[in-house]
Amino acid sequence: MSFESAITFFIAIFIFGITPGPGIFAILARAMTEGSRSCFSLALGMTISDIIYLVLACFGLAAIAEHWGGVFTVIRFAGAAYLCYLGWKLWTTPIDLSDDACVAKPRHGIMSFVQGFLISASNPKVILFYIAFLPTFMDLSALSATDIVLASTLQLVALMLGLMIVAYMASKARSFFKSEKSMRNLNRSAGSIMIGAGTYLATRH
Q: Tens digit of pLDDT for each residue in 64-96? A: 555 666 665 776 677 678 768 877 877 887 755
Q: Which domain holds residue 197?
A: 3-203
Predicted local distance difference test score (pLDDT) of residue 42:
92
Predicted local distance difference test score (pLDDT) of residue 156:
96
Task: State the Cα–Cα distance between residues 92 and 42, nearest whole angstrom.
Answer: 22
Predicted local distance difference test score (pLDDT) of residue 34:
83
Is residue 167 within 8 A of residue 36, CB to CB? The reply is yes
The SS3 of residue 78 is helix
In the predicted model, residues of the chain with pLDDT beneath 70 are: 20, 60-72, 75-76, 79, 83, 95-108, 123-125, 127-129, 131-133, 135-136, 139-143, 174-183, 186, 194, 201, 204-205
Predicted local distance difference test score (pLDDT) of residue 165:
92
Is residue 96 within 8 A of residue 180, CB to CB? The reply is no
Number of domains observed in the structure of the chain: 1
Task: State the Cα–Cα distance between residues 42 and 34, nearest whole angstrom.
Answer: 12
Predicted model pTM: 0.68
